[in-house]
Amino acid sequence: MSTIKIRAKESNGSVTVKALMKHPMETGQRKDKKTGGKIPAHFIQEVVGKANGEEVITVHWGPAVSKNPYLTFAYSGSKGDNLELTWTDNKGNKDSKSTVVK
């Protein structure tokens, strides 16, 4: 099951992309209430968006981004573009989702 929900819509030659990523986004600063120890950092470091195989956006995040981050961006494109969004976190986990621009 993908952790990414994505929508992409074209209007006047501009494609607006809206994406919601399910991720805990732990900073490494919070303490576990049961053990008192710090919860290890676990956050998305990089998000890459590609349209028809060509990179249109790269985002670098740190631990300060909130849980289940939402990302919106626009690029010059058209209906029918194949859009792919991929994230990689600081533990090496990855997820990817593709959609066709409406």
Q: Which domains does the chain have, with CATH numbers?
A: 4-31+40-100 (2.60.40.10)
Read off the pTM: 0.92
Q: Are 90 and 43 a contacting pair, CB within 8 Å?
A: yes
Residue 2 has pLDDT above 90, yes or no: no
For 40-86, the pLDDT digits (tens) are 999 999 999 999 999 999 999 999 999 999 999 999 999 999 999 99
Residue 77, burial from CB neighbour count under 10 angstroms (0-12, 13-18, 19+)? buried
Token couple for 39:
């919860």
